[in-house]
Each structure stands twice: as C-alpha cells, then as structure tokens.
Structure 1
C-alpha cells in the first residue's frame, strides 16, 4: 500500500530527497505522497526510506491505497521501465 504523510509533518525537508520514485513533493501546507508513484521503496530498499528518516513518525500506510508486495513490485517495474 502507498504511504501517506499526516498533518503531524513539520516540513523538515528530509523525506523528499530520499524517495527513489520522486513520489514526495511539497503540498500546500505539508509534504504529500503521490500514491501512483509510491512503492514503499519495494524494488529499491528493504524499508521505506522516508519512514526511516522522518523525525516525527508521520508517515503511515495509506488505508485508501491498499497494495500487496507483488502489486508494489509491479508498480516499481512500470515506473522504472522494467515492465
């Protein structure tokens, strides 16, 4: 499933450069994650890098975008041209 940045975000700017899929961008008030690009780092890393670097723990799984690991891998392949 894709990840989501909650309103607890402090706009510290550390998550955006860590995303290998460029799924994180500045929103109107806080950073946002594009669920069409977020693979939870499947295909790149063992754990979501944005979650690893977030100092306030504001990046949970998005319950509105439920995906299996296989679905995330398929998305990774499509995003990287491997499909």
Structure 2
C-alpha cells in the first residue's frame, strides 16, 4: 500500500483518548483489501495510521473516520463532566 496518513489527535486526558480509541476501533474498514487503519493511544494522544492502495480510498476512509471522531468528541463533550 503506497498511500499513507498519520493523524495525532490530542485529548484533555488519557482517559478520554482511551475511550475514543475503544469507540472508534469498533467500526472496521469495509474494504480491508484496500485500506488498513490502526489506532493506538499514547497517553492523551490518539494516534491513527492509514495505509491505502489509492489516494481516493485514503481520502474516503480518513474522511469517514474524522466524521466519526467528531461525533465521539461531541458526545463526550455533552455527557462527560469529569475531564
């Protein structure tokens, strides 16, 4: 896979980063033969690595992931009072 993207998303705490990682890891890539995604936490930093066979698939996959991440962070904002 020749196209790659590395994202590093900071969270206010390692607890919130871990929650986000666990929630986002549930949704697997639909086309595993074309896109590979790995998610890990490094303290309060969520690290996401994408590998793809094409730039288009990388864009589609990362865009979908970022939409899910936005939903997760908004939900945390609304329901998590302990930061």
The answer, yes or no, to whether TM exceeds 0.5 is no
The structure whose residues are more often strand, as a share, is: 2
Larger helix fraction of residues: 2
TM superposition score normalised by structure 1: 0.39
User: Is the radius of gyration larger for structure 1 or structure 2?
Assistant: 2
